[in-house]
Amino acid sequence: MRIGVFICHCGSNIEGTVDCKKVAQEAYKFPFVIYSTDYAYMCSENGQELIIKAIKEHDLDRVVVASCSPKMHEPTFQRAIKRGGLNPYMFEMANIREHCSWIHTDTEDATEKAIDLVKKAVYKVAMNRELFSTTFEISKDVLVIGGGIAGIQAALDVAAGGHKIVLVEKDQTIGGKMAMLDKTFPTIDCSACILTPKMVDAASDENIELLAYSEIEDVSGYVGNFTVKIRKKATYVDWSKCTGCEQCVAKCPTRILDKFNQGISKTKAINKAFPQAIPNRVVIDGNACKFITEGKCGNCKKACPAGAVDFDMKDEIIERRVGAIIVAIGNDIFDASQYVEYGYGRYEDVVTTLQYERMMCASGPSQGHILRPSNHQEPKNVVFLSCVGSRDNSVGRPYCSSVCCMIMAKQAILTKEHMPDSTSYLFYIDVRATGKEYEEFIDRAREDYGALYIRGRVSRIFKRGDKLIVRGVNTLLGDQVDIEADLVVLSVGLTSSPGAAELAQKLNISYDSYGFLVEGHPKLKPVETNTAGIYLAGTCQGPKDIPASVAQGGAAAAKALSLLSKDKLESSPLVAFVNNSKCVGCFKCQKVCPYKAIEKVVLRDGREVANVVSSVCQGCGTCTVACPTGAIDLNGFSDKQLINELEGLFV
Amino acid sequence: MAKEFNVSSKAAAAAVGLELRELEDWNCCGSHPTHNIDELIAAGIAARNLRLAEKTGSPSLIAPCPSCYNRLKMTDYEMRRNEKFFEEVNNLLDEPYELGVNVRTILQAFYEEVKEEDIRSTVKVPLEGLKVACYYGCLITRPPEVTQFDDAENPISMDELIFHCGAEPVDFQYKVECCGGAFGIAPHIEFVLEKARDILEMAVDCKADVIAVACPLCQQNLDMREGQINSRYKTNYRIPVVYFTQLLGLSFGISYSKLMLNKHLVSSRKILSEKIKGFEKVAI
């Protein structure tokens, strides 16, 4: 046995606290260590060459690198020693950065700990054996969850690459939040005009199976072989017959709040979300429909010329097998009623930016005429408040929602265009306009459209007569200001989608304390997750605007395409295996396995024993602990390796 | 000072079976100037009261004055979350305070301890027809993480109590504005008059007959300044400022003079007699 040890300085990251030279010297004292050295950046090309050269010159058969976390560079060094002619599993890493230099300050103690960590790795690598990957078949289909602009873009791009897509949308139409917008910044182009063609493309692409009004029930499997159960919620309308003529809607007597119009108008219990909805079909709200709740009415059924209404429809669970999953479930908006002092929910004339968007939209409830909800008169003074639910610890939202400043400026411009006599006041903390041509857009709002920016927060909104008084501070003048408003628009922040955490658990991916889904690496893996084969796009990962959502949708599609460009994937050899002679067939392992990777097999002598399906096993090691006879062991983390590692620490 | 708050609180509480006992040997709450000079000593003064209350075995200490309430509650709050502070304060005391008291305002006590049906069944003279602007002031609900009572920006507890007595709480927009009372002495008089004026104006705009308060400083500052405000701003406000406990007491059939409603500068007799049917039963 001939072990080589390589200690990395990581610039001053490690060397600043750990005496790397000393660690390298001490390593010579450990058994079988033939060669030991230190170097500034072991992951650099020179560093890797140094390892390769040492393997050849000193005829090394095992390598230990002491540097950063294996999450960072284990694959890098494994590739290097493979180039040096060794099996990549004849390798161990000692993490002397995250586990040592970064968290300690005393050089002497830190050096001692680093020596121990290297010693542990040397004892473990002595017990390593060569391991080899196998390959497995994969499905070439892709699941996209969420039919907003990010999901649509991802679906179209993957479909263009020739793969089948299953596009699942929980609402009755695709289009997401973008479909609710009137205009988009910084070009003031019509949101529907640029979105609806993409929606139609998504619905008509023969590679895309669109499942609207559906939700993810369960996900099992692993990269290349996910099995997804999808709940198709009962629409009470047979969509294969419905033509979207809406004759039923006219006859329905039950009025409910219009979700698509953000509750500022009513729709019917049987309804289409909006005129350009895709699929162009109606849905019955089962909680509101008189026939479903009370057994009376049935007007829609009588009115439907296609005989599509089916009150007996039930939810249906269907199953699809896919190789990759793109999560694009979007965001929700902050509940502004948490700011009681702003009176949202108490004063009709206090609305959110998304409600105001519907008020301005030509396809909205007032055909694009801006009217005060309280008296249906045109407002004269419109006051905007930024950071409602953003950058405010008191409501548990310390983050910037990134789009609200721009939305507010856009709406101030549109307000002026709709009502040239109006005045817009905009309370702001900072104007965050970092995108391309964004700052110029803010300037235009101020200079060409007379938007009056007031730097400061609003402390209270109250009613006086039929006006709203907006009381805030002007921090530039150091003075209190009262503005008499006809309409107040709260530029609400972005929050995660309500079901995000639950879905993340089904998918086995991470989410943060706000419910946003966590990317694989904040800089280098912006669309990946920590689960192979699952990618993120759009605002489910964090607040972002339309251009960024579209870019991320495309990026997620590219990642999925490159994964699925192979016919087979290589599986990790770090899996569990059963020693048949020790197995007593108790199947405790089967009960604890989170991946359903253990099956029963019958041996020739008739004994029933456990078998690990290595393509499904994720190498978590739970079964090895559960096994009462020690029949199961885990490649790369065998009992022998771990015991020797521990022994090393105590000799 | 504020004798009528004391008397009316006790009388109204007794009528609905809420038992109030005066804390024996109580001392100053440690409000300003003490807490402007030495926070620790101010807390020690407050904590002595908390310990005395704790020893009586009563689960809660009611402080009718919001400023006392604030000092007592704040001290309790800080001692609960800061171990070092807890020890420092207790080192000043003969007997350590063991965090066994829930400090509440009189408003909170009525709201949390008395059931709606008990109030309704005690009402003998419903205040029907009387429009009341419920004014909470700046301290009763704030800071919200400390007080943990009602909504800090739009409280409704007093409105509900008054409503159960038959009166009509108006949609008053200045429930928690500052009355300026703490700046009562010159050279801030201009500021104080302006703040108080705004509150009176809003109450009148909201068509209130009386302003109900739960703080002696608010009561005095609003009631006593109406004359000054009228001469300064050429206005003519004559809106009575009464304690909510006086209104509760009145509806429970306790007489006008017993509740010391005659102590205020702006008399409420005329408006109450005009608005409340059966006022003659409590008119003495």
- Name the DSSP class of A539: G
Same domain for B29 and B158, yes or no, is: no
Binned at pLDDT 50, 70 and 90, residue B185 comes out as low
List the end-to-end C-alpha distance of chain A, in Å, as a whole number. Answer: 19
Q: How is residue A224 written in tokens? A: 């290349």
Q: How is residue A581 written in tokens? A: 């002679």
Same domain for B193 and B248, yes or no, is: yes
pLDDT score of A606 more than 80: yes
Instruction: Tell me whether the CATH fold assigned to A332-495 matches the one assigned to A575-634.
Output: no
Does the structural domain A3-125 have CATH classification 3.40.50? yes
- Whether A403 and A390 have beta carbons less than 8 Å apart is answered as no
pLDDT score of A626 more than 90: yes
Listing DSSP states for A184-232 in one string gives ETTTTEEHHHHHHHHHHHHHH-TTEEEE-SEEEEEEEEETTEEEEEEEE
B207: left (phi over 0), alpha (psi -120 to 50) or beta: left
User: Nearest C-alpha of chain A: how many angstroms from B154?
Assistant: 6
Same domain for B75 and B142, yes or no, is: no
- Whether B72 and B116 have beta carbons less than 8 Å apart is answered as no
Residues in chain A: 651
Across chain A, what does the average pLDDT equal? 96
pLDDT for the residue numbered A594: 84
Same domain for B169 and B54, yes or no, is: no
A393 to chain B, any CB pair closer than 8 A? The answer is no
pLDDT in tens, B239-248: 999 999 999 9
Q: How is residue A226 written in tokens? A: 């996910």
- Chain A residues near residue B136 by CB distance under 8 angstroms: none
Binned at pLDDT 50, 70 and 90, residue A29 comes out as very high
Same domain for B122 and B262, yes or no, is: yes
B61, B80, B105 - which closes a domain: B105
The CA distances from residue B247 to A61, A403, B24, B167, B191, in Å, are 92, 50, 28, 9, 30
* Angstrom distance (rounded) from CA A650 to CA A254: 77
pLDDT score of A72 more than 90: no
| Residue B10 covered by a domain | no
Of B152, B154, B173, the CB nearest to A463: B173
Considering only A313-327, A496-510, A614-628, B151-165, which range has the smallest mean pLDDT?
Answer: A614-628
* Angstrom distance (rounded) from CA B121 to CA B133: 24
ipTM score assigned to the predicted complex: 0.84
Q: Is B153–A465 a contact, with Cβ atoms under 8 angstroms apart?
A: no
| Residue B98 covered by a domain | yes
The pLDDT of A69-79, averaged and rounded, is 94
Helix/strand/coil for A37: strand
pLDDT score of A158 more than 80: yes
User: Nearest C-alpha of chain B: how many angstroms from A468?
Assistant: 11
Helix/strand/coil for A296: coil
* Angstrom distance (rounded) from CA A414 to CA A182: 10
Binned at pLDDT 50, 70 and 90, residue A596 comes out as confident
pLDDT for the residue numbered A221: 86
Would you tell me which residues 202-241 of chain B have a C-beta closer than 8 angstroms to some C-beta of chain A? 202, 205
Mutate to test the interface with A, among B153, B159, B199 (most CBs of A within 10 A): B153
The DSSP bridge partners found for residue A521 are: A525
Of B151, B153, B173, the CB nearest to A464: B173
Tell me phi and psi for residue A355, to 5 degrees: -65, -40
Of A341, A464, A469, the CB nearest to B153: A341
pLDDT for the residue numbered B186: 63
User: Nearest C-alpha of chain B: how many angstroms from A467?
Assistant: 12
Tell me phi and psi for residue A232, to 5 degrees: -90, 110
- B66-81 vs B83-92: helix axis angle to the nearest 10? 120
Helix/strand/coil for A410: helix
Alpha helices in A16-135, H assignment, sequence order: 20-27, 45-57, 70-83, 107-125
List chain A domain ranges.
Answer: 3-125, 142-233+315-328+503-564, 247-303, 332-495, 575-634
Helix/strand/coil for B66: helix
- Whether A63 and A81 have beta carbons less than 8 Å apart is answered as yes
User: Nearest C-alpha of chain A: how many angstroms from B137?
Assistant: 15
* B83 contact partners, CB below 8 Å, separation of at least 6: none
- Whether A576 and A624 have beta carbons less than 8 Å apart is answered as yes
* A154 contact partners, CB below 8 Å, separation of at least 6: A144, A326, A328, A535, A537, A553, A554, A556, A557, A560
User: Nearest C-alpha of chain B: how many angstroms from A256?
Assistant: 28
A465 to chain B, any CB pair closer than 8 A? The answer is yes
- Whether B250 and B166 have beta carbons less than 8 Å apart is answered as no
Would you tell me which residues 322-351 of chain A have a C-beta closer than 8 angstroms to some C-beta of chain B? 339-341, 343, 346
Same domain for B65 and B155, yes or no, is: no
| Residue B72 covered by a domain | yes
* Angstrom distance (rounded) from CA B216 to CA B223: 10
pLDDT for the residue numbered A593: 92
* Angstrom distance (rounded) from CA B246 to CA B3: 12
Sign of the C-alpha dihedral, residues B136, B139, B143, B145?
A: negative
CATH number assigned to the domain with residue range A332-495, chosen from the 4 options 3.40.50.720, 3.30.70.141, 3.40.50.2300, 3.50.50.60: 3.50.50.60
pLDDT in tens, A519-571: 999 999 999 998 899 999 999 999 999 999 999 999 999 999 999 999 999 88
- Name the DSSP class of B23: P
Tell me phi and psi for residue B107, to 5 degrees: -65, -45
User: Nearest C-alpha of chain B: how many angstroms from A394?
Assistant: 10
| Residue B203 covered by a domain | yes
Q: State the fold for domain A575-634.
A: Alpha-Beta Plaits (3.30.70)
Q: Is A462–B173 a contact, with Cβ atoms under 8 angstroms apart?
A: yes
Percent of chain A with pLDDT strictly greater than 90: 95
pLDDT score of B34 more than 90: no
- Whether B121 and B25 have beta carbons less than 8 Å apart is answered as no
User: Nearest C-alpha of chain A: how many angstroms from B228?
Assistant: 24
pLDDT score of A216 more than 70: yes
Same domain for B93 and B127, yes or no, is: no
Strands B210-213 and A62-67: unpaired
Q: How is residue A215 written in tokens? A: 């939700």
Q: How is residue A71 written in tokens? A: 């999450």
Same domain for B138 and B254, yes or no, is: yes
* A201 contact partners, CB below 8 Å, separation of at least 6: A156
Binned at pLDDT 50, 70 and 90, residue B37 comes out as confident
B105, B129, B155 - which closes a domain: B105
pLDDT score of A193 more than 90: yes
Residues in chain B: 284
Same domain for B63 and B180, yes or no, is: no
Listing DSSP states for A575-626 in one string gives -EEE-TTT--S--HHHHH-TT--EEEEE-TTS-EEEEE-TTT-----HHHHH
The CA distances from residue A488 to A252, A335, A340, in Å, are 34, 16, 14
| Residue B5 covered by a domain | no
Q: Which of A510, A512, A515 lies closest to A530, judged by CA?
A: A510
What total number of domains does chain B contain?
2
* Angstrom distance (rounded) from CA A595 to CA A620: 9
* Angstrom distance (rounded) from CA A508 to CA A534: 9
Residues spanned by the domain of B191: 114-282
Same domain for B202 and B261, yes or no, is: yes
The DSSP bridge partners found for residue A255 are: A268
The amino acid at B193: L
pLDDT for the residue numbered A595: 81
B105, B126, B153 - which closes a domain: B105
- Name the DSSP class of A364: S
Q: Is A462–B174 a contact, with Cβ atoms under 8 angstroms apart?
A: yes
Binned at pLDDT 50, 70 and 90, residue A312 comes out as very high
* Angstrom distance (rounded) from CA A561 to CA A543: 25
Binned at pLDDT 50, 70 and 90, residue B183 comes out as confident
Same domain for B120 and B82, yes or no, is: no
* A47 contact partners, CB below 8 Å, separation of at least 6: A6, A8, A39, A40, A41
Of A341, A346, A464, the CB nearest to B205: A464
The pLDDT of B68-87, averaged and rounded, is 96
pLDDT in tens, B91-150: 999 999 999 999 999 999 999 999 999 999 999 999 999 999 999 999 999 999 999 999
A484 to chain B, any CB pair closer than 8 A? The answer is no
- Chain B residues near residue A460 by CB distance under 8 angstroms: 153
Q: Is B173–A465 a contact, with Cβ atoms under 8 angstroms apart?
A: no
User: Nearest residue on chain A to B174, judged by CA atoms?
Assistant: A462
pLDDT for the residue numbered A547: 97
Mutate to test the interface with A, among B150, B170, B172, B173 (most CBs of A within 10 A): B173
* Angstrom distance (rounded) from CA A573 to CA A91: 14
* Angstrom distance (rounded) from CA B62 to CA B65: 9
| Residue B2 covered by a domain | no
The pLDDT of A60-82, averaged and rounded, is 95
Would you tell me which residues 144-183 of chain B have a C-beta closer than 8 angstroms to some C-beta of chain A? 151-154, 171, 173-174
Same domain for B128 and B228, yes or no, is: yes
Q: Is B154–A463 a contact, with Cβ atoms under 8 angstroms apart?
A: no
User: Nearest residue on chain B to A344, judged by CA atoms?
Assistant: B154
Q: State the fold for domain A142-233+315-328+503-564.
A: FAD/NAD(P)-binding domain (3.50.50)
User: Nearest residue on chain A to B202, judged by CA atoms?
Assistant: A464
User: Nearest C-alpha of chain A: how many angstroms from B152?
Assistant: 8
